[in-house]
Amino acid sequence: MTRRAFLLALTSLALVLLLPAPSHALQRSSSLFGNLEATGQSQRVAPSDSSSKGTSKSKKGEDKETETEGGDAEVCSPPCKEGRGICIDGECFCKHPFTGSTCQLSQGKSLRVQLLVAIVACLLSLVLGVAIALCCAEASSLISQSEGKYTKRDSNKQEVWMPAQEGGRPR
């Protein structure tokens, strides 16, 4: 029974480590810019109050109006959609709920992790936790059984105490 639990725990751990993470699991939060989505391109939620608009010329000579922090004009290629993001160091950083290379997509109110993935992760965690608990319990019982071999005293050896004779000297 213990070997099965150990093998189950090892198999579960191997599956978690070896299977690639789903693409929607790569979404995470960034404390500096808000939400940061790992979709292959850097996109961050821009602060909405501290931005100002500036114009800049692209390599083709076209005037582009982009929002920048601190009022400096920056060039994004392709340019950010107006009002949806800001251009910093040639990259478009999108305000929430927009995403994409030019902030052209709207995320809406979707779940970050699908319900099925969350349920499977919880069940896998439960199975792994039970397997680890069984392994720990079995190891504990083996340790407590083996301690008895070394801690038992030999019954033939007994200490004998005798009262002292008068005057405090032994006989």
What local confidence, expressed as pLDDT, does residue 24 receive? 46
Average pLDDT in the chain: 68
Report if residue 22 sits inside a domain: no
Confidence of residue 167 (pLDDT cuts 50, 70, 90): low
Question: pLDDT band for position 74 (50/70/90)?
Answer: low
Q: Which of 56-60, 74-78, 130-134 shows the lowest per-residue confidence on average (mean pLDDT)?
A: 56-60
Determine, yes or no, domain membership for 39: yes
Distance CA(134)–CA(118), nearest Å, equals 24
Q: Is residue 36 part of a domain?
A: yes
- Quote the domain boundaries for residue 76: 27-106
pLDDT at 64 over 70: no
- Domain assignment of residue 125, yes or no: no
Tell whether 70 is covered by a domain.
yes
Q: Tell me: the pLDDT tens digits for 29-56?
A: 333 444 444 333 444 444 444 444 444 4
pLDDT of residue 113: 78
- The number of folded domains in the chain is 1
Q: Is there a domain that residue 102 lies in?
A: yes
Q: Is residue 47 part of a domain?
A: yes
- What is the SS3 assignment for 111? coil
Q: Which residues pair with 29 in a beta bridge?
A: 35
Dihedral angle sign, alpha carbons of residues 136, 142, 144, 150:
negative
Give the pairing of strands 28-30 and 34-36.
antiparallel
